[in-house]
Structure 1
Amino acid sequence: MRALLMFLTSLVLGLSPAVHAAGERPLTLGVVPYLSARAIVQLYRPLEDQLERNLQRPVRLVTAPDYFTFLDKTAKREYDLIATSPAFGRLAQLDTGYVPLLRPVNSLEVLLVTLSDSRIQELPQLRGQTVATTDALATLTLAGQRGLKDKGLVPGRDVTVRPTNSHANSLAAMQRGDAVAAITSATALKQLGQAAGAPVRVLAQLGVTTPLLYLVSPALSNGEVETLRRTMMEFANGTDAGRKFVNELGHGGLAPVSPKDMASLDPLVSDLRAQLESTR
């Protein structure tokens, strides 16, 4: 079943409106699976189309069934261009040689939310309760757990953090009563829209990070890297379609990534490595 899911996910996302030139290898754009495959197609198809037009090269939009598989495929350099979670991006740079390309202009607030009619009003009421999150490896989860600890709630001791595989599932877990709160973001809630179900309210801000990072494989030439950087920045910041694309993602535009941006993610990468080690 898992193998079938992976095949279907790649097949659906790989259906491009452009006709691929015979024998030409597509540029593979891999997007971390923070939303459903359908939602990722809707959000990132404009970028795929723009890259195909500007590069005059087929582009294949893909994701993975879960965070671990996406991380593994990144480590194997199966993606030419990745739109990935910040901790994954820094890990890919350090361990696999991926080159930082761009970051969103806007930062991302890591939020702890509960249902609007929940009895939970203050953080101490979470003691002994379950908090839902997307994936144990997601940067939102890593940053959220750090935020909980900073506020006196140690995950695994004072509160249980339970992965649900998606933001939608986390909200559904609250509605079922399987969790009293969820780690998410305003951007994720906006992207879910009506799928979010019952209304939620914010209990606390748990941290701030960049929403996403774009990096390119070390297999690409310097010329290809700079062409991608220029093409994506011109699209995102200089065209109506591009501005709509980044606004729907909550990115507010795209900007170069600085070494300081990348180094600031090292604490989260340490947490990520520890989480990966614990699952072996």
Structure 2
Amino acid sequence: MAVFLMLAGAWLPLSGVASAQASGLTPYRFGVLPLQSPNKLASMFLPLTKVLEDRLHRPVQFVTAPSFTVFMQRVAQREYDMVYLNPLLCGEAQKSGYHVIAKIAGEPFTGILVVRRDSHITGLAAPQLQPGLRLGFPDPGAFAATVMTRRYLESIGIPVDKDFEVKYFGSQDSVLMALYSGLVDIAGTWKPSLRSMPKHIQQSLRIIAETPPQPQMPIAVRDDMPAGDAKTVADVLVELRDTPAGRQILHGMNLPQGFVHSEDSQYAKVSR
């Protein structure tokens, strides 16, 4: 079982710290946007960082942050060597010298609106959306869950801040638990987070709307990473789906489709 150290709002595996000290090399810091709880993100990404360590011959530490805002402050300060983040925030990372090397493959990147299975709400037609309904989002900076679903509702003539009581819960897990617990009537999220919830929660919820797609979640590296290491990181990500061990890692990340190579130009038109 992995043991973790809480340090400056990020969870680090103690084994990674020890590895860095033993090797004498400065570890690469893999920053993961706090889409879900630190423990869940650690369980998802630590197996990947171990593979990256083995291929790079250098320690790789999983790190995250207590909020989207803090995460992006650290990106602006170039504290991470590689980052996993959403398409909207990718533009901000590029301004700080990060370059896209890969993205999630296959499944379109969309936001979804979810209700409890026993809710009377089955769609977005006006008669079902009575004034004062509680609409939950994970974080104002969550692209699929918040920005895209807000944009979609506005595009079909539903003014979000006028028609709903809007609440923020910090993470995808938290907003889905709020919906399941009855604290909100509708939640904005995205499919990988819904799939990552326990089965009994998934079965208690249902999707009522899905937004048009945007480019998928990217992984970017800082511009001072040696080109050979950047290529290795991209190759490791793309090759995960080619082996049983790699597919097991992807399954644990709720990304069975894996990754494909990508580049900055694919995110040039993503905007708020």
TM-score range, shorter chain: 0.7 to 0.9
Per-residue deviation at 1:187?
1.4
- The answer to whether residue 129 in structure 2 is matched with residue 126 in structure 1 is yes
Equivalent residue runs for 1:106-185 within 5 Å = 106=106, 107-123=108-124, 124=126, 125-128=128-131, 129-140=133-144, 141-185=146-190
What secondary structure does 2:24 align onto? coil
- Per the alignment, residue 239 of structure 1 pairs with 243
Structure 1 residues 251 and 213: alpha-carbon distance in aligned structure 2, compared to 1, 3 A threshold:
farther
Stretch deviating more after TM superposition (14-23 or 248-257): 14-23
Stretch deviating more after TM superposition (225-234 or 28-37): 225-234
In 2, Cα distance between equivalents of 1:153 and 1:193: 31
Contact 2:101 / 2:263 at 8 angstroms: preserved in 1? no
Structure 1 residues 210 and 191: alpha-carbon distance in aligned structure 2, compared to 1, 3 A threshold:
farther
Contact 1:132 / 1:161 at 8 angstroms: preserved in 2? yes
Structure 1 residues 126 and 261: alpha-carbon distance in aligned structure 2, compared to 1, 3 A threshold:
farther
In 1, Cα distance between equivalents of 2:19 and 2:155: 52
Stretch deviating more after TM superposition (42-51 or 215-224): 215-224
Counting matched residue pairs gives 260
- The answer to whether residue 202 in structure 2 is matched with residue 202 in structure 1 is no
Q: Structure 2: state its 5+ residue gaps.
A: none
Which structure shows the bigger proportion of residues in helix conformation? Answer: 1
- Per the alignment, residue 15 of structure 1 pairs with 14
Identity %: 27
Contact 1:46 / 1:241 at 8 angstroms: preserved in 2? no
Contact 2:32 / 2:84 at 8 angstroms: preserved in 1? yes
Q: Normalised by the size of structure 1, how large is the TM-score?
A: 0.84
Q: Structure 1: state its 5+ residue gaps.
A: 272-280
Question: What is the CA deviation profile of residues 202-222 of structure 1, one whole-angstrom value per residue up to 9, with x for unaligned ones?
Answer: 111123234421000112122
Contact 1:133 / 1:170 at 8 angstroms: preserved in 2? yes
Q: Normalised by the size of structure 2, how large is the TM-score?
A: 0.87
What secondary structure does 1:156 align onto? helix
**Paired letter, 2:98:** Y
Per-residue deviation at 1:197?
7.0
Contact 2:237 / 2:258 at 8 angstroms: preserved in 1? no
Contact 1:6 / 1:64 at 8 angstroms: preserved in 2? no
Structure 1 ranges of 4+ moved more than 4 A = none
Contact 1:132 / 1:181 at 8 angstroms: preserved in 2? yes
Structure 1 residues 240 and 176: alpha-carbon distance in aligned structure 2, compared to 1, 3 A threshold:
closer
- Per the alignment, residue 100 of structure 1 pairs with 100
In 2, Cα distance between equivalents of 1:48 and 1:258: 21
Stretch deviating more after TM superposition (17-26 or 66-75): 17-26
In 2, Cα distance between equivalents of 1:78 and 1:157: 39
Contact 1:16 / 1:60 at 8 angstroms: preserved in 2? no
Contact 1:6 / 1:65 at 8 angstroms: preserved in 2? no
